[in-house]
């Protein structure tokens, strides 16, 4: 499979795995925040009753979780695509 064809064929797969990564990361973050923040919902930057520190802590945790989950799912999707087609989708 040519590089261009592999990239085009992987595009819908990448979009679906991206959505799955976002959903999974959101669920993981919610569970972690319940334990760390002792609250069901993370503080929003536009809510004045939350301190800047708690807003930034929530944002850092959420960003780190999203990045790790997305990397794991993207890598897994690319490896699976390569096994099925013989081509790595990003090259």
Long-range contacts of residues 51-58, Cβ cutoff 8 Å, at least 24 apart: 58/33
Please report, for the chain, the start and end positions of each structural domain, with discontinuous segments joined by +.
Answer: 18-85
pTM value is 0.80
Residue range 14-46, pLDDT digits in tens: 888 889 999 999 999 999 998 887 788 899 899
Contact status, residue 86 vs residue 10, Cβ threshold 8 Å: no
Q: What is the pLDDT of residues 44-71, one digit of tens each?
A: 899 999 999 989 999 999 999 999 999 9
Residue 54 and residue 38: Cα distance in Å, rounded?
11
DSSP 48-60: TTS-HHHHHHHHH
């Amino acid at each position: 499979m040519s590089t261009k064809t592999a990239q085009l064929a992987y595009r819908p797969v990448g979009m679906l795995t991206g959505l799955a990564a976002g959903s999974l990361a959101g669920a993981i973050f919610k569970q972690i925040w319940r334990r760390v923040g002792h609250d069901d919902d993370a503080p929003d930057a536009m809510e004045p009753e939350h301190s800047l520190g708690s807003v930034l802590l929530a944002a850092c945790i959420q960003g780190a979780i999203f990045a790790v989950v997305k990397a794991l799912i993207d890598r897994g999707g690319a490896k699976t695509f390569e096994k099925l087609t013989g081509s790595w989708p990003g090259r």
